[in-house]
Chains A and B, each alone.
Chain A
């Protein structure tokens, strides 16, 4: 290797990312690169080496990025390749953009049997926005179902190159990968920066490690950072001492410092990733830069849900689990919440749907919790007739009184799918109050459809509905697109006249009846008959819009009770008494916890469609 970390000639550095859809082979390609460049030998190799979390490996997705330094010789000259892994999913657009910002080039990796997907397209646009050099690559060319000509043409038309410029590799066999590494050296520009200027480094990732605290990944833009330096986070002004610096290759290698264009990690001893935020600029406390790098944003939760332990005794464990998760997830926000139906829990804000899913899954899997979540909600802005404003992320906060306008967040979505599903997708999007913005053919049988959709319409089961209507072929990406005034109302579900908070929802007026009658009929089937008749009503304010009735139980007695039955009967009674203690009381109505859980988890998306 030509240069040790900290003293690498920027001219020999190539910083790049791989942009790819789930399952298109990014991790496998990374594995091959690790082997070919000799940083991991075959014996140490395990599949998807860089994906550290179990969930990532199982779901085949990468949540947390990492940077790997690899040596490569091209035309007799030694180079340093920094491969910066990007999160591959819709909710992490901002993180992706920061990772890309740390690069000069990007490998656009597309499955030769499937073609480009919406996510990839969205990330490609981010890369183009960041002026990155794009190296288009088709993967899995060894598959019998591969259609390299077709998809090379598709890619060429999207990025404006020749189909012949699209490299063909098989990450599985390694074919074409050395040529790809050569192309990275030849085509990706070397980083440029002012080595004499005050230090500026971009944080593109930050990971909590239980032994070392927060590990912050940086790309040095100007100047130099060294161990023992006092550094300053420019967004907060907080200063820390650098205890350790290094690079991953792919195991950590400690070094004295990092110079212009270099990529590595630093450790200061902080314990919480929120003190080392992605997108922030690191400078030196002793000689600070005046101007932070552009593009820093605070993560903003877009989707909110109440999350409750199914067994209320697990509440302290849930709190502890959230505290731990937050150490590693700067985007996670939460506050305690109490529900009459579900007990004590938390209102959690998520970047989006996938983020929500991942957090819930980690809570359940890594912390062994059984959880129930309310339907996800979004952030509404409610303007009253008197001009006052309310931010509403929970139906319970929806104001009473005279409302002038409700604004709901909207997103711009890209949906890529085979042309045969155009009708199905249009129907779905129209049903979700979507406004079509455009439709383009990517190739003769694949289209990109663009819609403006209320976020509230896609937070609940939109992915599932899209997948089922397109036999799994459609992919989706969305980005924030402001807000729009909409006729939103709060629908309450009343059980024997008492509102059940967990089922209140903010929906469009046209959908209020559908939601109300669906919930009422669902609850009617789930709540056992009581000793009296129980009406289940859906209401907007005081106005009842739907009603179901649980008829009173008429028989609750075992006919026979003779000598041999008495013990059994008494044990049954005791069991029933125990069961009664686990019932939640909604007014006079006894509702088994399972009924709430079932009503919230029923997969039918009838509320929205």
Chain B
């Protein structure tokens, strides 16, 4: 047992620091949450803040706090921590931080942990925050992959989503990114927004594939409770998204993206072969990752914890050199099994037969009969119809 370093004390006394030991045999990833946005979008319930919501807090203070957390993380994990296989800067809008600030955080990760050979380093970005010169600077800083929030090519839909970029901007940035030398560009799309027609969704998909992205994520819009959009739906100002409409749009996405050479490898993700998002695959394979930043979640071999959500509190705790932990859970064998089933069934590669006990396998057989699941190479895999009903299949199998 390595000793717990004196400087890394958790606010949450129950977090079992002694279990936070990186295992040399396991891969390690890092998520960096950047909690800033220029404006709030009505549908978004992420942990992010505009300048006016954080009076007196500069991005610089956040960066300083994040650097401290990186340092404490490294101390906590001890000498055996492997180099990082993947890094993902998400938000919020990570590009609200300057290229230099982003570079400093990435450099700190490289310095403290090291990056494994061929590591994937992703950056989430809103199209309006990027131009050609920033793209070059980010590439130089070591980012290897860009995930661009395109959402839609329809001006009306973007307005409903409170997105302020022009419909062509994301496509332009994708072209610039390729030109600058990025070989992994992903476009994020949202479908089923109130008012979006099938033709509009088709146009968005066609626009996205026209710039040859290596990767596309397409999410059905979820009206999250507590958001401005949820209030509008409740007041009847916006119609609620319709499941049947979203199902039709999902099938259209599958058809057009597949035809464009982007294969589905997770329910909402499509990629050219070899361009799957390895960072996200780490989540879905229950690998280990440390989440840096306010509200970020971490997982290490059955211990999951999450940071305090508010950036000021986050910074304050780290200024006292405390891990800014809000809470944690210890996953027992049954829970880890449940998570494996619910996560791995979502993947193209599916769930190994051996993960299921006899009862569960018996419950799988009606799903096979109904054509929601196929058995292939010792794994259960969802069919396209099964992907649309993944949660139901999971519930039925877990019983």
Contact = CB atoms under 8 A, between A and B. Distances in A.
Interface stretch (B71-79, B110-118, B352-360, B387-395): B387-395
Contacts of B329: 567
Contact of A557 (B244, B289, B387): B387
Interface string B258-282: 0000000001100000000000100
Interface in B334-355: 335, 338-339, 342-343, 346
Interface string B280-313: 1001100001010001110100001010000000
Contact of B343 (A559, A561, A564): A561
B341 to A, nearest CB: 9
Interface in A295-348: none
A8 B32 CA distance: 98
B250 interface: yes
Nearest to B295: A564
A563 B31 contact: yes
A265 B84 CA distance: 91
Contacts of B21: none
A573 interface: yes
B243 A555 contact: yes
A562 B283 contact: yes
Nearest to B372: A531
A605 B219 CA distance: 44
Interface in A488-542: 531
Contacts of B218: 559
B297 A558 contact: no
A543 interface: no
Contacts of B222: 558-560
B395 A555 contact: no
A564 B394 CA distance: 19
Contacts of B338: 570, 573-574
A569 interface: yes
B41 interface: no
Contact of B339 (A558, A562, A570): A570
A566 B306 CA distance: 12
Contact of A563 (B267, B289, B394, B395): B289
A553 B243 contact: yes
A553 B398 contact: no
A533 to B, nearest CB: 12
Contacts of A570: 335, 338-339, 342
A566 B291 CA distance: 14
Given A561-B343, A567-B304, A554 B296 contact: no
Contact of B219 (A554, A560, A563, A569): A560
Interface in B195-231: 218-220, 222
A577 interface: yes
Nearest to A552: B389
A580 interface: yes
Given A564-B291, A573-B394, A580-B395, A555 B250 contact: yes
A573 B31 contact: no
B370 interface: yes
A561 B219 CA distance: 10
B233 interface: no
A566 to B, nearest CB: 6
A556 interface: yes
A290 B147 CA distance: 102
A187 interface: no
Given A573-B338, A580-B395, A556 B299 contact: no
A589 to B, nearest CB: 14
Interface in B369-399: 370, 387-392, 394-395, 398-399
Of listed B284, B392, B399, residue having the most chain A CB within 10 A = B392
A531 to B, nearest CB: 6
B250 A561 contact: no
A564 B296 contact: yes
A279 to B, nearest CB: 59
A576 interface: yes
B395 A559 contact: no
A562 B395 CA distance: 19
Contact of B398 (A556, A558, A561, A573): A573
B388 to A, nearest CB: 5
- For A557, A570, A577, the residue with the greatest tally of chain B CB atoms inside 10 Å of its CB is A557
A35 to B, nearest CB: 57
6 contacts: A557-B392, A559-B222, A561-B283, A563-B289, A566-B297, A573-B394
Q: Which 6 pairs across A and B sit closest by C-beta, in order of nearness?
A: A554-B247, A559-B219, A557-B390, A556-B392, A555-B247, A564-B297
